Structure 1
Amino acid sequence: MMDPTSSTMNIDQQQSRPGGRSPGWWYPWIFVAFFFVTVAVNATMVYFAMNTWTGLETQHYWQRGTTYNAAIQGARRQQERGWQVGIDFQAAALQGRLTVDLKDRQGNLLNGATVTARVVRPTSEGHDFTVDLAYQGQGRYGAEFAMPLAGQWDIRIVADHPQGDYQEVRRVVVKG
């Protein structure tokens, strides 16, 4: 008969490696690593969500929603008036020049209007401003102003005149 200790190995010796660890000892660490990666990715996403906000939001959404029909009717009246409006925007080295020419349907000059331009940065907040356009004669209104940043801007022109009002939005790109 053979000595059981010399010729056969017990089960613990068969499953152990030279370093003394059993096969599969690292399986629980897979779960630990998975949860570590998940927490790290979530923490990164929370950081970027909290620190890279662009400021885009809908302000006064309730008022805009309830006045939607009035806005459609105002646009219809504006189209029926048939004003001839020429808008010219030029920018160089962060300096903008805006001119607006106003004429009625028959081509008569529209003097005596109050014309303003709301200049809005659509990609971030804190840079918007309003410009009053001065009457320059011959139905032309204009202003020169500094642009705070290069990039995309929306210019909302509003002209109030005794015969009616006019609104239009133009998207422009300002190069620095």
Structure 2
Amino acid sequence: MTTVEDMSKGGGFRVTGRTVLFSLIGFFGLITVANIIMIWLAVSTNTGVVVASSYRAGNAYQAELDAARAQVERNWSVSADVARTADGVAFDVTVRDGDGAPVGGLEVSATLASHVSEADDQRVALSEGEIGRYRGSAGTVGSGNWLLIIDAMRGDERVYRSENRVMLR
């Protein structure tokens, strides 16, 4: 039978105040080091910068609101067809005014924007065939979800903009 006296003499493990202190310091030190590494990795791989100058972006905000209001007042109907072809992706955009008449003389562009990387974005200037119908094609585009951005310009003024998600298979 082992007694308390035998345990104190023998080589049994004893938990002392010093053992508890060093264990806690080691545990929280390890957690702190892991947090520092994770923060460093997060900040070094993604800076969080979306625009180069938030001041300029803030100043342009009112102009964006005015452009959106003017677009709604125009009451245009814009339809877009995005289809896979053997060479890549074909765009077919039709622009009609509020009365259903085709709107011609615009500079229309279509952008397939990647949700992952701006390097994968593909911007295509569409050419007008018949009045109000704009067509173009992009090269190789990967499968998946894309953001289709359609911009229509008349001179230096943007008269239409839409952003829609599309799925390319």
Please, what TM-score do these two structures have when normalized by structure 1? 0.73
Distance 2:137 2:42 in 1: 37
Distance 2:43 2:85 in 1: 35
Name whichever structure is richer in helix by fraction: 2
- Give, as a single letter, the amino acid of the residue that structure 2 aligns with 1:168: S
- Give, as a single letter, the amino acid of the residue that structure 2 aligns with 1:140: R
Which consecutive unaligned segments of at least 5 residues does structure 1 have? 1-12
Question: What is residue 84 of structure 1 aligned with on the other side?
Answer: 77
Question: What is residue 159 of structure 2 aligned with on the other side?
Answer: 165
1:62–1:171 CA distance, 2 compared to 1 (3 A): farther
How far has the Cα of 1:143 moved from its partner? 1.5
Q: For residues 122-161 of structure 1, what are the structure 2 equivalents within 5 Å? A: 122-161=115-154
How far has the Cα of 1:44 moved from its partner? 4.0
Which consecutive unaligned segments of at least 5 residues does structure 2 have? none
Distance 1:37 1:92 in 2: 55
Residue pair 2:115, 2:146 contacting (<8 A) in 1 also: yes
Greater Cα radius of gyration, structure 1 or 2:
1
Comparing 163-172 with 105-114, greater Cα deviation is found at: 163-172
Cα RMSD, aligned residues only: 3.1
Please, what TM-score do these two structures have when normalized by structure 2? 0.75
- Residue deviations 1:37-96, cap 9 Å, x none? 21342244135414653x763214322211222211111111111222112223478932
Question: What is residue 19 of structure 2 aligned with on the other side?
Answer: 26
Residue pair 1:94, 1:148 contacting (<8 A) in 2 also: no
Establish whether residue 42 from structure 1 lines up as the match of residue 35 from structure 2. yes
Question: What is residue 89 of structure 2 aligned with on the other side?
Answer: 96
Aligned partner of residue 149 in structure 1, secondary structure: coil
